[in-house]
Amino acid sequence: MSNFTELLKEKLTAENYNRLIALDNPKMHQFIADAIELTNPASVFVCTDSEADVAYIRELAIKTGEEKLLNIKGHTVHFDGYYDQARDKAKTKYLLADGSELGEWLNSIEKKAGVEEVRSFLKDSMLGREMLVCFFCLGPTNSDFSIPCVQITDSPYVAHSETILYRPGYEQFKKISSSPDFFRFIHSEGELENSVSKNIDKRRVYIDLEEELVYSVNTQYGGNTIGLKKLALRLAINKASKEGWLAEHMFVMGVHGPAGRITYFTGAFPSACGKTSTSMLPGQTIIGDDIAYMRKKDGKIRCVNVEKGIFGIIRDVNPENDPVIYKSLTSPMEVIFSNVLIDKNNKPCWLGMGSKLPDEGTNHSGQWHSGKTDSDGNEITASHKNARYCLSIYDLDNCDRLIDDPNGVPVGAIIYGGRDSNTWVPVEQAFNWAEGIIIKGASIESETTAATLGKEGVRTFNLMSNLDFLSVPLGRYIQNNLDFVKDIDNPPLIFSVNYFLRGKDGKYLNGIADKNVWILWAELCVNGDVDTIETPTGLIPTYKDLTKLFKEHLNAQYSRSNYVEQFTIRIPENLAKLDRVDNIYREKVPDTPDIVFDTFAKVRKRLKTAGDKYGDYISPFDLTAG
């Protein structure tokens, strides 16, 4: 588009045009001009970093009906369409040029055809509505970690959410001047019916890795529309692979050890496996709950939280399990609830909130009452199982003081977790970085729950809890992680955790609060303060150290029988897991590095040797006796 400057002058008011040209970036200007010409909005608002501009977006969300005020100051609710309640994996695709290949795990479409299709859906999609042009920064501003982003949307709910979740980026764009190095996102809700996207059959989320550009249309749900979240993670993983850093689906937290010591942990868990609750453990501090960038600086691995807010699943958030989050959700501060139940007192209610739910109210299905079903006869729950909250980490009592440090925080440990009923012990340290990446991270399986798929215990492979968001071939991603510490003298320790181990009676062996002890033990490990017991798969705690931690931090007695049951090494189950994961890599990941199979073979040999000596189920006390 050669005349994009003239188009911007024609379509923007003088104030908005001046805001835009104050950013001397022709690539960004052309992107916005093309979006205007394509979507044909009635007006364009260019958002700066000012509080007045953020307030305008907030008020626009109320004015358009995309959000409604609730009974506590700062709280609003947004409802997505009944069939627009989650990430659309089938319609989220990479745009690949002829000859490009990401492997069978990653969903793609031929680039030319995909661009033509999604642009046809975007054509005139903002007719009669205001286009919002917003600038944000992934990671702290003025940092080696910073990635500037421009988000175009016609949804004030999307823009409002991003003002909570991400650091402002208008001033950051001034600093990068004409640099082409930034991410671009264009989203339109499309045609609306009762204030929600109507044409769900034309919902598309297409990702152009080469152009670092994401298209999203005919959807409102945050996972499909909030460009800087998992859509940007896909762009960042690809960028990191080219540039030698890591973009990971991980929390970042400060674990507080003895004498005021803080050791920073990152951790990756599949959905519903305790990721957010771990990052929010009582007595610890949070930097982020979802996405981390890691870089090597001065011989150490340092990381930042990409975001400054939380877009969390609200189900089962209650005062007992998540006291800090629950306090925020019931206090005057800026919070967007989505797809919860609103009762007659204009109060949000959700599944597992710790109190009885009302029998009627308003939710994503409209007027709701207990027992209501949809057109297919399915029960409509009071609050959707994937209902969310959006809030700023700055508003949490446990916000870590280094959340915005441009240098990031030093990573002391990485944790990988999953929902596992019978194999992994509650906490275990990997012998070294390579085994940590391969045996703990690249071997994650997580069991489904009856609530989500109707059948409990189906094991789902999820490489480093990042499988849904990878944008490079799986083998290359594993190799990138392995190579990341080649010039690091003391890399972070890697641990596995498992909060879902069950006994012979089917009951959980871990209490909800026990994760405090597993994480605090890992912190002591990182700093060399505890002894460990060597097993075929890693290093586990001694009974003596766990007894002390349970008493000091949970005021609980930790019995010898509990220790044995929880930390017994289960040889048959571990071997079966290795075989399952080994087969996945052999059959579906043709570029798997040889070291993966070599490591599986080493661990398999250690397991069989231990089994021959001690039997199929090995008490940790047997290992201490030699």
Separation CA 268–CA 290 (nearest Å): 8
Catalytic-labelled residue, pool 134, 137, 149, 273: 273
Taking the CB of residue 53, how many other CB atoms lie within 10 A of it?
Answer: 19
Q: Residue 278: exposed, middle, or buried by beta-carbon count in 10 A (0-12, 13-18, 19+)?
A: buried
Catalogue the E-assigned strands of 82-158. 92-96, 108-110, 130-138, 147-153
Task: Tell me how far CA of residue 491 lies from CA of 192, 213, 523, in angstroms.
Answer: 51, 34, 14
Residue whose entry in the numeric block shows the structure tokens 């700023």: 392
How many helices (H) does the chain have, and how many strands (E)?
20, 35
Angle at 432 between CA 431 and CA 435, to 5 degrees: 85
Instruction: Specify the 3-state DSSP secondary structure of 535.
Output: strand
Query: Residue 145 forms beta bridges with which residues?
Result: none
Please say whether the beta carbons of 158 and 187 come within 8 A: yes
Which residue, among 345, 339, 311, has the nearest Cα to 325 in the 3D structure?
311
Catalytic site residue 273? yes
Pairs from 607-612 (Cβ < 8 Å, separation ≥ 24) = 607/536, 607/537, 607/571, 607/574, 607/575, 607/578, 608/571, 608/575, 609/536, 610/535, 610/536, 610/569, 610/571, 611/571
Dihedral sign of CA atoms 201, 207, 211, 216 in order: positive
Separation CA 74–CA 66 (nearest Å): 15
Separation CA 611–CA 156 (nearest Å): 60
Helix (H) or strand (E) holding 410: strand 409-417
Tokens of 44: 């364009």
Residue whose entry in the numeric block shows the structure tokens 């109707």: 454
Instruction: Specify the 3-state DSSP secondary structure of 597.
Output: helix
Residue whose entry in the numeric block shows the structure tokens 């307030």: 55
Separation CA 188–CA 154 (nearest Å): 6
Taking the CB of residue 371, how many other CB atoms lie within 10 A of it?
Answer: 8
Just list the catalytic residues: 273
